[in-house]
Amino acid sequence: MFHLSPSILAADFTRLGEQVNQIEQAGADWVHIDVMDGLFVPSISFGMPVIQSLRPATKLFFDVHLMIQEPIRYIGEFKKAGADLITIHAEACEDIGATIQAIREAGCKVGLSINPETEVSVVEPWISKVDMILLMSVHPGFGGQKFIEETLDKIRAVRSMINGQNPSCDLEVDGGIHLGNVAEVVEAGVNVVVAGTAVFKGDIAQNVAGFRSVMK
Ligand code: DX5
Ligand code: ZN
pLDDT digits (tens, 9 = 90+) for 8-20: 999 999 999 999 9
pLDDT at position 34 is 98
Q: Which residues line ligand 1 (CB under 6 A)?
A: 7, 9-10, 32, 34, 65, 138, 140-145, 174-177, 194-198
Q: Is the pLDDT of residue 144 over 90?
A: yes
Q: Give distance in angstroms: CA of 162 to centre of ligand 1.
A: 24
Quick one: pLDDT at residue 181? 98
Which atom of ligand 1 lies closest to the CA of 65? 7
> Could you read off the pLDDT of 96-113 as tens digits, one per residue?
999 999 999 999 999 999
Beta carbons within 10 angstroms of residue 25's beta carbon: 11
* CA dihedral angle for residue 79, residue 80, residue 84, residue 85, rounded to 10 degrees: -20
What was the pLDDT predicted at 114?
Answer: 99
Give the pLDDT band of residue 172 (cuts 50, 70, 90).
very high
Mean pLDDT, the chain, rounded, equals 98
Nearest residue to 67 via CA among 142, 177, 169, 170: 142
pLDDT (tens digit, 9 = 90+) per residue, 78-95? 999 999 999 999 999 999
% of the chain with per-residue pLDDT over 90: 100
**pLDDT bucket at 4, cuts 50 / 70 / 90:** very high
pLDDT of amino acid 216: 84
Residue to substitute in 36, 86, 142 for testing ligand 1 pocket (most ligand atoms within 8 angstroms of CB): 142
- Ligand 1 atom at minimum distance from 197 CA: 13
pLDDT at 191: 98
Contact 61, 92 (CB under 8 A): no
pLDDT of res. 113:
99
Q: Tell me if residue 63 is catalytic.
A: no
Element spanning 181, H or E: none
pLDDT 10s digits, 33-70: 999 999 999 999 999 999 999 999 999 999 999 999 99
Triad 186, 134, 164: Cα angle to 5° = 70
Which of 157, 101, 81 minimizes the C-alpha distance to 124? 157
The mean per-residue pLDDT over the stretch 174-186 comes to 98
Sequence-separated (6 or more) residues with CB below 8 Å from residue 143: 7, 9, 10, 34, 196, 197
What number is the average pLDDT over the span 148-177?
98
174 is catalytic: yes
Instruction: Please tell me the distance between residue 33's alpha carbon and the centre of ligand 2 in angstroms.
Output: 7
98: enclosing H helix or E strand: helix 96-106
Q: Which amino acid, 52?
A: Q
**Half-sphere exposure (CA, 13 Å, Cβ side) for 105?**
11
Are 30 and 61 a contacting pair, CB within 8 Å? yes
Beta-strand (E) ranges in the chain? 3-6, 30-36, 61-67, 85-89, 109-114, 132-136, 170-174, 192-195
Model pLDDT, residue 61: 98
Q: 68: closest CA among 40, 47, 45, 46?
A: 40
Q: Which residues pair with 174 in a beta bridge?
A: 136
Give the ligand 1 atom nearest the CA of 139. Answer: 6
